[in-house]
Amino acid sequence: MRFLHPTPGLSGIPQEDAEARSREILQRARIYGEDRTLTDQMMLTRLDSVVNWGRKNSLWPFIFGTACCAIEFMAVAASHFDISRFGAELIRWSPRQADMMIVGGTVSYKQAPILRRIYQQMADPKWVIAMGACAASGGFYDDYCTVQGVDKIIPVDLYIAGCPPRPEAILGAIRELQIRLERQPVRV
């Protein structure tokens, strides 16, 4: 790939002008008889598309599991459900290397500062999935020591319903996150 066109909108170039510039370059190459070699060596795309493609296909999850939901995630990471199909096979045990956190299980008020600190240590951009009823709303633990939803501690991007959720629901949430990442603008 020789060069990448500037992303329309972010670089101040309107979408129509960027597309016209791409057509002009290809037309000029056809005039000089370089059509075959030029298309073999160059790919025209937007910077957003390339960066989002890399992000969505290389999610590195960090699991904050405190109850039965974490056990369900073990099934997702095993070969039967094969989370590696979605590019999230590299489970990180250090938050500094992860960009996606999956919170599964009950979170107590004593764990809240730890969860917040782990979230702050994660690499940017970062995403959070609240897995199961306990992480989403406290579940049936409506008492003085249980946080009634991790969204009171850290921002949550996706919620997975269930107690515990099925592995297919976890894979569906990861797929939904990938779809959202495809449409996300890149900030440079």
> pLDDT, tens digit, for every residue of 44-83?
777 878 888 888 788 888 888 888 888 888 888 777 777 7
pLDDT at 130: 93
Residue 110 DSSP class: T
Whole-number mean pLDDT of the chain?
Answer: 79
Bind-site residues for [4Fe-4S] cluster: 68-69, 134, 163
pLDDT at 41: 64
Residue segments in the chain with a per-residue pLDDT below the cut of 70 = 1-16, 18, 28-43, 90, 188
Bind-site residues: 68-69, 134, 163
- Give 174's Cβ-side CA count (13 Å radius): 29
